Structure 1
Amino acid sequence: MKKNFVLIILALSFNVAFSQVGINTPNPRGILHTDGQKDNPTSGSSFTPAQQMNDVLITSTGRIGVGTINPAVKVDARNSGNGAIGFGTSSLTASTADEGAVRYNTGMEYSNGNEWLPLLTAQPTVNKVIVIAAKTDNTVKLLNPSALVTTGLQNRASNYLVGWTKAFESNSGNTFNASTGIFTAPRNGVYVASFTTDLAPLAINYTVDPLNPIQIEAIWQLYDNTTGVFATNIVNTVKCVNTMSSNSNGNIDAGSNCTASFYMTTGQRLMPYIWFNLNGLNTAGFSLNNTGGYNNLTIAEQ
Structure 2
Amino acid sequence: MRFLIFSCGVFYSSVNPLFSQVGIGLKNPQGALHVDGAKDNAATGTPTAAQAANDVIINKTTGFVGVGVFNPQVKMDMRSAGTENALGLNTTTMNAVDAGAGAVRYDVANIPVGPKIEVSDGMVWHKAYIAPQKAVVVARKISTQSIIPNSATNINNWNVVRDMSNSFDASSGIFTAPRDGTYTFLLTFNFNGAVINDGSRVESQFYNTTTNTVLASVYKTFGQSMTGTADDANSTRSTQAGGSSTVTLTLLAGTKVATRLWHNLVSSGSVELRVTTNPADPTNPDDGFNNLTIIEH
Task: Please give the TM-score of this superposition, normalised by the length of structure 2.
Answer: 0.51
Match of 1:157 in 2: none
Q: Is the 8 A contact 1:108 1:120 kept in 2?
A: no
Residue by residue over 1:74-95, the C-alpha shift from the partner in whole angstroms, topping out at 9 and shown as x without a partner, is 322344556423321345659x
Q: 1:112, 1:257 → 2: CA distance?
A: 47
**Equivalent AA in structure 2 for residue 296 of structure 1:** N
- 1:22 CA displacement: 0.7
Whichever residue aligns with residue 257 of structure 1, its letter is S
Matched, 1:294 2:289: yes
- Residue 203 and residue 117 in structure 1: after superposition, are their counterparts in 2 closer, same or farther (change >3 A)? farther
> Structure 1 regions of 5+ residues with no counterpart?
1-15, 144-159, 207-213, 226-232, 277-281
C-alpha separation in 2, matches of 1:267 and 1:119: 23
- For each residue in 1:104-138, what CA deviation from the matched residue of structure 2 results, as whole angstroms up to 9, or x when unmatched? 446563649683234479x9xxxx99794527455
What's the offset of the Cα at 1:54? 4.1
Aligned equivalent of 1:7: none
The CA deviation string for residues 34-70 of structure 1, in whole angstroms up to 9 with x for no partner, is 344666566x542344653443221112321123333
Does residue 1:116 correspond to 2:127, yes or no? yes
Give the aligned residue type for 1:197.
F
Structure 1 CA distance for aligned equivalents of residues 120 and 130 of structure 2: 11
Partner of 2:261: 273
Counterpart Cα distance in 1 of 2:241 and 2:120: 50
2:162 aligned with 1:166: no
SS in 1 for 2:150: strand
Question: Cα–Cα, structure 1 residues 102 and 196, in superposed 2: closer, same or farther, change >3 Å?
Answer: farther
| CA offset digits 1:126-176 (Å, max 9, x no partner) | xx9979452745522415xxxxxxxxxxxxxxxx24564433599799785
Q: How many residue pairs get matched?
A: 237
Q: Report deviation, 1:272.
A: 1.9
Trace 1:207-286 onto structure 2 (pairs within 5 A).
218-225=204-211, 233-234=212-213, 236-240=214-218, 255-261=243-249, 263=251, 270-273=258-261, 284=267
> Does the aligned pair in 1 maintain the 2:204–2:259 contact within 8 Å?
no
> Are the counterparts in 1 of residues 160 and 170 from structure 2 also a CA contact under 8 Å?
no
The CA deviation at 1:255 is 1.4
> Which runs of 5 or more residues in structure 2 are unaligned?
1-15, 108-113, 227-236, 275-285
1:90–1:104 CA contact under 8 A, matched in 2: yes
Report the CA distance shift for 1:168/1:242 in structure 2 as closer, same or farther (over 3 A).
same
Query: Which structure's CA Rg is the greater one?
Result: 1
RMSD after superposition? 5.6
The percent of aligned pairs where both chains have the same amino acid is 22
Residue type at the aligned position of 1:221: Y
In structure 2, the partner of 1:33 is 34
The CA distance in 1 between the partners of 2:244 and 2:75, in whole Å, is 57
TM-score normalised to structure 1 length: 0.51
Give the direction of change, closer, same or farther, for the CA distance of 1:186–1:45 in structure 2 (3 Å limit). same
- Whether the 8 Å contact between 1:215 and 1:243 is mirrored in structure 2 is yes
| C-alpha contact (below 8 Å) 1:136/1:295 kept by paired residues | no
Q: Distance in 1 between matches of 2:209 and 2:50?
A: 61
Report the 3-state secondary structure (helix = DSSP H, G, I; strand = E; otherwise coil) of the residue aligned with 1:142: coil
- Work out whether residues 222 and 268 of structure 1, in 8 Å CA contact, stay in contact via their aligned partners in 2: yes
